[in-house]
Amino acid sequence: MKISVQINPPSILCSSIMFAARKTNLAAVARTFARGKKIQNKKQGVNNASTQKVVNQLSALSATKKQPKLLKLCPEDLIKHKTITNAWNVFQRKQRTKEAEILAKQYESIKDAMTELKELSPELFEAALKKERKFFPLEYRVPVDYPPRNPWNYQVKKL
């Protein structure tokens, strides 16, 4: 299964072209503070070092002034995005069904093998079912992005 789709990312990612027609943000200009002055730090006692640390932590966590502008895609970008997402979903679905089919085949294989073994030799069949309780070894690792300096470990040392 080969999919050769050239993804052209929508222009939101490349430049600000789609925002070109926007007017100035009036709300930001006309904003006034109706409740008067902002509370001064000194009055609150924030000059205390440990309190300042907690205030800093809160500022790192909170969403205030940190949320970007909402995405407003122009119709063309929206269509592009939907096409990309659809292509991805189709690709994922195909992959998933393929994997499921292969797993089902593998299961049938195991089942066939065990059924035949049962007919041919009941002793070997018993031995093949006798599972020792064991875990997967730690050396059976999750693959990494870049290989280690020695890609393969030639030393036999069981953990």
Query: What residues between 114 and 153 interact with another protein by CB under 8 A?
Result: 114-121, 123-125, 127-149, 151-153
Determine the interface stretch with another protein among 31-39, 40-48, 111-119 (rule: CB under 8 A): 111-119
Site for another protein in 41-70 (CB under 8 A): 53-54, 56-61, 63, 65-70
Question: Any idea of the CA torsion for 84, 87, 88, 90, to the nearest 10 degrees?
Answer: 160
Site for another protein in 19-38 (CB under 8 A): 19-20, 22, 24-25, 28
Nearer Cβ to another protein (1/34): 1
- For residue 18 the two structure tokens come to 């789609």
Smallest distance, another protein to C-beta of residue 77, A: 9
- DSSP annotation of 48: S
82 near 7, Cβ under 8 Å? no
For residue 90, state whether it binds another protein (rule: CB under 8 A).
no
- For residue 102 the two structure tokens come to 């292969």
- DSSP annotation of 151: S
- CA–CA separation, 135 vs 9, rounded Å? 45
Nearer Cβ to another protein (39/114): 114
